[in-house]
Structure 1
Amino acid sequence: MAEGEKRRPTLGELIRTQREMASLPMRRLAEMVGISNPYLSQIERNLREPSDKVLEAIAENLKLSSEMLFNSARPSDPEGQPEVVAAIRRDPDLTHAQRATLEEMYSTFRQVTTENRRRGRGTGRAAAVHDGSGSADT
């Protein structure tokens, strides 16, 4: 990180800050959300990632939108980020869990392809399977 650049808060830090700004003790917010105090503590310390349902309940009780809460904690587009990942992150019709799953799948596909290229396997087989013919020459 360059000097003078401000680090974005993590999701847990953002939740803690918003809770403190609302003058809500952790126990009270956990009770309002319907989760245990230790679980909320783990979320605030970034040890656990809340489900969409829990994130929505936290946002509702802190008078925030869950998308705003999630998006504001997400790092800004890093240099060199694939456009696919940026598009996944921008899509308002996907849940947090769906975005995370798609990003993980995309990353895995890229990693496998890179490994195959490095080993000299290329992508011919994938192309053959994709067109359904079983042959890349059709």
Structure 2
Amino acid sequence: MASLNVGNLGEYLREQRRNAQLSLRQLADAAGVSNPYLSQIERGLRKPSADILQQLAKALRISAETLYVQAGILDERSPEAAGTRSVILADPSLSERQKQVLLQIYESFRKENGLDADETGTEGAADGSGADGSDADHPQASN
């Protein structure tokens, strides 16, 4: 049987809900899910979708990425990258769409610079050349 982190996710959600001093019903209402469904998630009987996890994270005011890691959707990343992602995701002045776009740009820069190469399956540009073969340190070539 494949190992799903559903039980760990449920325990983690319950702990976050209690830390936020919310009842099961209050969190279900805030996240827009049914009370029985949230109960099943907390007991490890259901594995929610990424959308539901995002709704729960928003209601709990925590990083959706943290829930994705707990659910086994994302692999845990380096602390500095996780910190940057957490800051972006926690910024209340950004819309969810803006946060996702920023994260995509951030990831593309990390890949271009050869970071997270083992996660992407691509080799990084450690020699300073850009993805298009141009010299990243000297973006404007003389004509």
Q: What's the TM-score once normalised by structure 1's chain length?
A: 0.46
Q: What's the TM-score once normalised by structure 2's chain length?
A: 0.45
